[in-house]
Amino acid sequence: MVHVGIGYDVHALVAGRKLILGGVEIPHPKGLDGHSDADALMHAVCDALLGALGEPDIGHFFPNTDPRWKNVPSRIFLEEAAKQVARRGGRIVNVDATIIAEAPKIYPHITGMKKNIAAALGASEKHVGVKATTNEKMGFVGREEGIAAVAVAGVELPE
């Protein structure tokens, strides 16, 4: 049976941080603020996978109050989500995600993001979708105050 989960994450853009999305460092004057590397894309994918398992969100497994996770690459979180799937005898069917950002341009970095996500999950790049859109200058994303990401994941479980 295929179980589906949805993930969403958002982080504020701030000066003095690198912008990391999908494990790719993107040249930009601001980066995402957070306890880890603040990779909103990987966080959304992680929550989608955990949701498909009926588990709590990423903060349950990797609390931002725990110094062990300070500045950690979000790939670690995705690898753990994949391990959770495997422990249940499951298989990741696919992941599809959308980044919502006014700037910078995301499209040139999508191939690298797909590769990084697939590698962290032990999945084929063919089963990972990454897209980007703007917020048409509306809201906090439109004002370039932050970046959001939403993801859906399908996980085949033996139950």
The CATH number that applies at residue 8 is: 3.30.1330.50
Nearest Cα neighbor of 19 from 80, 105, 138, 133 is: 105
Query: Would you mind telling me the total number of residues written for the chain in this entry?
Result: 159
pLDDT tens string, the chain, 159 residues long: the values are 999 999 999 999 999 999 999 999 999 999 999 999 999 999 999 999 999 999 999 988 888 888 888 889 999 999 999 999 999 999 999 999 999 999 999 999 999 999 999 999 999 999 999 999 999 999 999 999 999 999 999 999 997
Three-state SS at 104: coil
Number of domains the chain is built from: 1
- Tokens matching residue 118: 């697939």
- Tokens matching residue 90: 């499951």
The whole domain housing 120 covers 2-156
* 116 alpha-carbon distance from chain centroid: 11
DSSP string, 107-142: GGGHHHHHHHHHHHHT--GGGEEEEEE--TT-HHHH
Query: What does the pLDDT read at residue 159?
Result: 74
- pTM score, whole prediction: 0.96
